[in-house]
Amino acid sequence: MAGNERPASGSNHHSGVPLDEARRYLQSSGLAGWLTRDYRYTNPVFEAALGRRVEHLTRPVWLWIPSDTEPGLLVHEVDAGRFPPGSPEIASYGSRTQMVDGLKALLGHAGATGKIAMEYSPLYELPRVGRVDAGTIELVRSLGAEVVSSGDVIQYATERWTPDQLQSHFFAVKALTRIVKETFRYVGENIRWALTEHDVAEHIRGKFDRAGLEFDDGPVVAFNEHSSDPHYDPQPGDSVVIRREGWLLIDLWARKKQSNPGEQNISADITWTAKLGGPPNSMQQEVFNTVVEARDTAFDLLETRVLEGNNPQGWELDRAARDLIEKAGYGQYFVHRLGHSLGHEVHSNGVNLDDWETHDTRTVIDGVGVTIEPGIYLPEFGVRTEMDVYLGEDGPEVTEDRQTEIFQIETN
């Protein structure tokens, strides 16, 4: 990483202009600048840094955000006219030689002497950050620059929520919490109609639309052993009938529908579990209690560290929850990271709570959102409890109800 320093600020909210926020971070971190490159929409970070999508770009395009001067673009001459007014100053190129010369000119003195952040992750430690190919890194290094990871500047500049985005998240998470509880009741009330997992997923998608939510995929509706698959996707031909006795896991995510073009509303993502028929057996209750304790242990550590002014790194929270689950004897059944960055995309580009799939050394900075979602997946059933957390001005906040008891679905 390019350091864990954070610019001093009296507020967690940012201006909403990624270029301005990036320069604030760069000035505090000792980096010469941030160079982000895209080719045919393979690097979504480019769009996030620019703060807008530009359609029909067909050639490599470079955005240079220096710490001490104005940003600039290097664009092929066939694409230069596609950038709207208000974009950074554009330099154009035609041939490859002109592109390399243009890149040298764009980077200026920093290209030969400074540290430049790019979408590069040493040893591919953070796949979400590693967006540019090795050849691109070689090209920039050939100009004399030292290339470091842009993971921290990406998070600071593009992943902290504005006040409007925070309100859009509250809208979504309150709706999801209401929908999951209503869906559990719906299943109990209609159990005699032999509802399948897919039927219930369709029911939820209909409720999303009526609640003013949009979604890219999902939800997960998983009965009994299907709940042991963290990403189970019920399909019409494969989903099972939900019976009067059993275990039901629902994971649902969505965001508020746009009211204006370009609006970047923030997603919500929650998971609840329920028991149909009789009360949970001792094993179900034990596993549920362990998962809840792991979730709350991670949140308590986050809260303590933030209030002490020593925000943790993502891996530390995963490790705290994972250690608890391992001590309870279920370590081999916790098969994914503790949580992920939450933004416009449900899995966004900020810090993940991860010491399993990766070792995420990015700091959980003020102004971002994350999920905390430990799980234990036994062959017979799986338990996951997922809540959304926002790091606000008064510390981390669980943005809606956290599940503390197994939801009981009456099926008589």
The verdict on residue 6 lying in a domain is no
**393 and 313, same structural domain?**
yes
DSSP-based helix, strand, coil % in the chain, nearest 5:
35, 20, 40
- How many CB atoms sit inside 10 A of residue 310's CB? 9
Q: Which of 388, 299, 357 is nearest to 128 (CA)?
A: 357
Q: Could you report the per-residue pLDDT of 394-408, keeping only the tens digit for each?
A: 999 999 999 999 999
The verdict on residue 10 lying in a domain is no
The verdict on residue 13 lying in a domain is no
**123 and 245, same structural domain?**
no
Does pTM surpass 0.85? yes
- Looking at 9-118, list the stretches that DSSP marks H as alpha helix, in order from N- to C-terminal side: 18-29, 44-50, 96-107, 110-113
Given 109, 134, 158, the domain boundary residue is 158
**52 and 130, same structural domain?**
yes
**198 and 186, same structural domain?**
yes
The verdict on residue 394 lying in a domain is yes
Q: How confident is the model at residue 237 (pLDDT cuts 50, 70, 90)?
A: confident
Element (H, E) at 174: helix 163-189
Given 104, 127, 158, the domain boundary residue is 158
> Which tokens in the block code for residue 203?
């029911």
Q: What is the CATH number of the domain that holds 111?
A: 3.40.350.10
Q: Could you report the per-residue pLDDT of 362-394, keeping only the tens digit for each?
A: 999 999 999 999 999 999 999 999 999 999 999
Cα-based torsion angle of the residue sequence 405, 274, 218, 168 in order, rounded to the nearest 10 degrees = -30
Report the domain count for the chain.
2
Q: Could you report the per-residue pLDDT of 97-124, keeping only the tens digit for each?
A: 999 999 999 999 886 778 999 999 999 9
Query: What percentage of the chain reaches a pLDDT higher than 90?
Result: 91
**240 and 92, same structural domain?**
no
Residues whose CB falls within 8 Å of the CB of residue 57, separated by 6 or more in sequence, listed in order: 38, 40, 41, 75, 79, 82
- Which residue in the block uniquely carries the two structure tokens 């900075």? 365
Instruction: State how far the Cα of 147 lies from the Cα of 211, in Å rounded to an integer.
Output: 46
CA separation, residue 44 to residues 126, 299, 304 (Å): 15, 30, 34
Q: What is the CATH number of the domain that holds 184?
A: 3.90.230.10
H, E, C per residue of 138-152: HHHHHCCCEEEECHH
187 touches 277 (CB < 8 A): no
H, E, C per residue of 280-332: CCHHHHHHHHHHHHHHHHHHHHHHHHHHCCCCCEHHHHHHHHHHHHHHCCCHH
Domain that holds residue 228: 161-409
Q: Could you report the per-residue pLDDT of 41-66, keeping only the tens digit for each?
A: 999 999 999 999 999 999 999 999 99
Task: Give residue 144's region: left, alpha or beta (phi > 0; psi -120 to 50).
Answer: left
Residue 335 has pLDDT above 50, yes or no: yes
239 touches 198 (CB < 8 A): yes
